[in-house]
Amino acid sequence: MEAFVLRDAVKPGRVSQVGATETAEAVVSARKPYKLVSRDFHPDDSVIQVGPVAFGGDKVIVMSGPCAVESREQLMMTAEFMQRVGVPVMRGGAYKPRTSPYSFQGMRLDGLKMLAEARERYGVLIVTEAVDHESLANVAEWADIVQIGARNMQNFELLKAVGQCGRPVLLKRGMAATIDEWLLAAEYIAAHGNLNIILCERGIRTYETKTRNTLDISAVPVVKQLSHLPVVIDPSHAAGQWQWVLPLARAGVAAGADGLIIETHPNPAEALSDGPQSLNFRHMEELMEEVGRVARAVGRTL
């Protein structure tokens, strides 16, 4: 039996199914396994409003900041720079899921409080990662957008909790995930009550070793055809080297991405996490200028 979604009746967490012989108003065929995040359910582009910032509208939204919150001085210096160059959302990791147990793991709650202070002083919104249920409660309290990283894309219990956290979510694609798996992860969040989801393509693992990951530019138009959710790209984690971040950012915006998330550090050589792929302030200014030109060429603005 073919499944149908009742567009006006369905609520997050409950998908109504009717038989093919039954009748109902505003019935939409839902042939895909992800229903709430698909265009079958919502044919128009969704705009995710976070304070004054709209993801999925006419503007390409830039999010930028250090991979990890390392000190108050580092963070405030970065937040002041973001305000000056017009970046509305600052990223910064307070909880850091690292490949090595000996790598810097983040400042945790202290880092979140510093991010909140930066928001108050410089007017930037905050996006930062939650790695488990405990950190999710803290991130939802202190940040504006909850990030779910690539390693947790299929942490289904965490996704269920994120669906109930009351905050917009930035969901990164897993490093070996198909587009369908990525959208099904988003469906977990939507099905548990939260449709304020921003999808993030951050590069996938392929046989190529020159870059850290392979940025799947094709995912942008493909996902935007399949889903109504906004899509942003993370060229920093795809490239692995700061020199390649700008070309990838330009390509993402040209392909239709609704935003960028870029790693920036006052002194990348001294960064405790991901220094080689982080832009310094001068290079970040250059990126804003170059990407702005591409955005205008495709009928958008930064």
Banded pLDDT at 300 (limits 50, 70, 90) = very high
268-294 burial: b if 16+ Cβ within 10 Å, else e = beebbbbbebbbebebbeebbeebbeb
Banded pLDDT at 266 (limits 50, 70, 90) = very high
- Domains and their CATH numbers in the chain: 1-31 (no CATH), 35-297 (3.20.20.70)
pLDDT in tens, 55-78: 999 999 999 999 999 999 999 999
pLDDT at residue 11 in the model: 40
pLDDT in tens, 129-185: 999 999 999 999 999 999 999 999 999 999 999 999 999 999 999 999 999 999 999
pTM above 0.95, yes or no: no
pLDDT in tens, 215-254: 999 999 999 999 999 999 999 999 999 999 999 999 999 9
pLDDT at residue 188 in the model: 98
If you average pLDDT over residues 177-204, what whole number do you get?
98
pLDDT at residue 6 in the model: 34
